[in-house]
Amino acid sequence: MAEQQNQQSQKGAVRRFLQSIAVPLGAVALALLIGAIIIELSGASAWEAYVALAKGAFGSAEGWRRTLEKTTPLIFSGLAVAFAFKAGLFNIGAQGQLLFGAITAAWVGFAVHGLPPGLHAALALIAGTIAGGLFGAIPGALKTYTGAHEVITTIMLNYIAMGFTDYLANGPLKDRSPGNIIARTPEILPSAKLPTWGWLPFGFILAVLAAVFAWWVLQRTTLGFEIRTVGQNPHAARYAGMKVARTVILTMVISAAFAGIGGAVETQGVVGRYEPGFNANLGFDGITVALLGKTNPFGVIPAAMLLGAMRAGSNVMQFDAHVAQEITDVVQALMLFFVAADQIVRWLLRIRAEEGEKITLSTGWGSQ
């Protein structure tokens, strides 16, 4: 009897799992389909384009390395968005938080001398994480104490972060070596760099660990319980004696810390220094990743891999199939549309609605 029940609940779990990934998969399929139509309309072959894309992303060890390198910051920014989502907060500021993390890590990376390799790299990572997190505290505090909606404040802070890091890379932190005229910091010391083993960048491992950490905080700690309660019903949370203000700020800090460490990893593992304008849309990409991953920390990883592969393969696609790289942006936007408009996907693919946590974001401008 008990065994049968167990089996049944296992079956139920499998079915629930399949149900929960049906909409994202359907959204991806529909987006690729419409993307194919657009490619065909612009006079190229969609099949060739997608094959070249896949070849570029997974066809070689080099392709895998590029894919994982592109995936890594997407996991971090996806985690930043997904984590804040759980508390009903929409963090569009991952971009700015990432920039602060990146430039701080670069600064620690080139300015601090005489540390052993592992320690130096760790110190730079931690500095980047803290810088990103502190920058995220601003919209959190603005939201709790003044009611300013985080969607607009984080976007404004993105522009401010862009201006500020641009100033730093042009001024106090500029690479003064002879021959350099562009805005960038000096290269970080070898002791601060993160290794890449064959096709596996160390940063990717960190990103996966960060996802585990996010899951652990959300599902296994009191703070996580409070975050989820605030996300589903702030009034109930307040009534239950939770400190909603503190939870909101803390959530933003942790969310932004994910973006910050993402910037640090990008600097220490890929770019090697800070240069303005790198990965300009990572913050927005994080939204797509988070929603494709159903705001589940573990769902974020495959979602980020998908977008990362599209990024990594788009070069080869442009070269082999003569399709502009930006088609990946279009497909990505379509994915976001179909994931958000899950009713369309359900209706087209006849998927039944599932019961799950529902989070409301747009409760007006001055709520909470």
Q: Identify which of residues 159 and 298 has a Cβ nearer to another protein in the complex.
A: 159
By C-beta, is 167 or 225 nearer to another protein? 167
Shortest Cβ 317–another protein spacing (Å): 13
Measure CA 208 to chain center. Answer: 12
Of the candidate residues 58, 199, 213, 337, the single one contacting another protein (CB under 8 A): 337
Letters for 200-239 (x = contact with another protein by CB under 8 A, - = none) are ----------------------------------------
Indicate whether 327 belongs to the interface with another protein (CB under 8 A).
yes
193, 272 in Cβ contact below 8 A?
A: yes
H-helix segments, 112-201: 117-146, 150-170
- Asked if 284 and 95 touch (Cβ cutoff 8 Å), the reply is yes
Alpha-carbon span 74 to 293, nearest angstrom: 12
> Is 284 one of the binding residues for another protein (CB under 8 A)?
yes
Q: Is 227 left (phi over 0), alpha (psi -120 to 50) or beta?
A: alpha
Nearer to another protein, 169 or 192 (CB): 169
Give residues 47-86 in contact with another protein (rule: CB under 8 A).
none
Is position 164 an interface residue for another protein (rule: CB under 8 A)? yes
CB closer to another protein, 283 vs 297: 283
Q: End-to-end alpha-carbon separation of the chain, Å?
A: 49
Q: What pairing do the DSSP bridges indicate for beta strands 200-201 and 196-197?
A: antiparallel
Nearer Cβ to another protein, position 98 or 291?
A: 291
How many H helices and E strands in the chain? 14, 2
67 φ/ψ sector (left φ>0, alpha ψ -120 to 50, else beta): alpha
Chain contacts with another protein (rule: CB under 8 A): 38, 90, 92, 142, 146-149, 151-153, 155-157, 159-160, 163-164, 166-167, 170-171, 281, 284, 287-288, 291, 324, 326-327, 329-334, 336-337, 340-341, 343-344, 359-366
